[in-house]
Amino acid sequence: MSTPTPHNSAKLGDIAKTVLMPGDPLRAKYIAETYLKDPLCFNTVRNMLGYTGTYNGKTISVMGGGMGMPSVGIYTYELFNFYDVDNIIRIGSMGAYADSIKLGDLVIAMGACTDSNYVNTFNLPGHYAPICDYGLLKKAVDTADSLGVKTVVGNILSTDVFYADDPDFNAKWLKMGVLGCEMEAACFYMNAARAGKKALCMFTASDHLFRDEHLSAEERQTGFHDMMRVALEAFA
């Protein structure tokens, strides 16, 4: 397919090789206006805002992806396959499971379990284990260490269900050592693998699902800033 696409009004060349992708398009706008120099908006279709600017002299883009794998599946597929993007870094929030995770910690998904049927679109003759790119993972961890930002690295859950009917849903995943849950990472990793590109998903632990803990608005902003420092210093 040629560009623009039905979902993205950018032309080929408008989007950088590396894209940071929060779920909320207004968060993409905030990132562009707060952290990037001379950001230019390349997409407003369906209000899924996208911007390209520079950070420390290097061109980088940021674009919203929406909620859930059906939404980010479209945007990541088009970025990888139609816009020649090489790396997509998810920057979002997650609900923590593991007792070792404190609110505000930076959680990096080495792997992403899922209950989604998205993987079935690839018609594989078995089960697929979605994992991140190791090079991006190492760079993020090394950068976080240099900035004094605590990281927790491991397996997370990308679920299609926000309101689970099974009251033991989260506990069953915790028993398998899963760190926490969100709704998109597995799709990032599958689309990147199929396209021969790279993806990494990073999260601020905004809630703890077994301790009924939640970050305040101010604490969310501080945790988000730490995540953004790591993402921009590592990948811009």
Helices 134-147, 217-235: inter-axial angle, 10-degree rounding: 120
Q: Are 83 and 192 in contact (CB under 8 A)?
A: no
Tally of structural domains, the chain: 1
The model's pLDDT over 192-211, given as tens digits with 9 standing for 90+, comes to: 999 999 999 999 999 999 99
What is the phi/psi pair of residue 158, to 5°?
-105, 110
Q: Which of 69, 140, 129 is nearest to 77 (CA)?
A: 69
Tokens in use for 169?
């849903």
Residues 6 or more apart whose Cβ sits within 8 Å of residue 110: 131, 132, 137, 153, 154, 155
Q: Is residue 4 situated within a structural domain?
A: no
Q: Is residue 10 part of a domain?
A: no
Domain that holds residue 103: 18-235
pLDDT digits (tens, 9 = 90+) for 16-73: 999 999 999 999 999 999 999 999 999 999 999 999 999 999 999 999 999 999 999 9
Q: Euclidean distance between the first and final Cα of the chain, in Å?
A: 28
CATH code of residue 80:
3.40.50.1580
Classify residue 63: in a domain, yes or no. Answer: yes
The set of catalytic residues is 207
Tell me whether residue 2 is in a domain. Answer: no
**pTM for the structure as a whole:** 0.96
7 within domain boundaries: no
